Amino acid sequence: MKKQAKILKKLNSLLREIKCPRFLHHFGPKKYKFVQHATALLLKEAFRLSFRRISNMLVLLEIKAPTYSALCKSRKRIPLWWIWNSLLKLTARINNFNVAVDSTGFSLTNPSYYYTKRIDSKNPVKGYAKLSAFFDLRSKKFIALRIRAKPRHDINDVNYLLKQNNLMKKLFGDSAYDAESFHEKCFELKIQTIIKPRKNVKRGFYRRKQMRNYSEQEYHQRSLIESGFGSLKRKYGSFVFGRNFCSRRTEIYCKAICHNLSLRD
pLDDT, residue 50, reads 92
User: pLDDT digits over 147-202, tens only?
Assistant: 999 889 999 999 999 999 988 999 999 999 999 999 999 999 999 999 999 988 88
2 has pLDDT over 50: no
Q: What does the alpha-carbon distance between residue 34 and residue 19 come to, in Å, rounded to a whole number?
A: 12
233 has pLDDT over 50: yes
The answer to whether 165 and 142 are in contact (CB under 8 A) is no
Secondary structure in 3-state letters for the chain: CHHHHHHHHHHHHHHHHCCCCCCCCCCCCCCCCHHHHHHHHHHHHHHCCCHHHHHHHHHHCCCCCCCHHHHHHHCCCCCHHHHHHHHHHHHHCCCCCEEEEEEEEEECCCCCHHHHHHCCCCCCCCCEEEEEEEEECCCCEEEEEEEECCCCCHHHHHHHHHHHCCCCCEEEECHHHCCHHHHHHHHHCCCEEEECCCCCCCCCHHHHHHHCCCCHHHHHHHHHHHHHHHHHHHHHCCECCCCCHHHHHHHHHHHHHHHHHHCCC
User: pLDDT digits over 39-91, tens only?
Assistant: 999 999 999 999 999 999 998 988 888 999 999 988 888 887 789 999 999 99
Q: Report the mean per-residue pLDDT for the chain.
A: 88
pLDDT, residue 108, reads 83
Q: What does the alpha-carbon distance between residue 190 and residue 201 come to, in Å, rounded to a whole number?
A: 23
pLDDT, residue 81, reads 76
pLDDT, residue 120, reads 76
> How much is the pTM?
0.89
pLDDT, residue 126, reads 65
User: pLDDT digits over 121-134, tens only?
Assistant: 766 666 789 999 99
pLDDT, residue 64, reads 85
Domain ranges of the chain: 1-76, 91-236
pLDDT, residue 194, reads 96
pLDDT, residue 12, reads 85
Q: Which CATH number fits domain 91-236: 3.30.70, 3.40.1350, 3.40.50, 3.30.420?
A: 3.30.420
pLDDT, residue 61, reads 84
Under the banding of pLDDT at 50, 70 and 90, the label for residue 3 is: very low
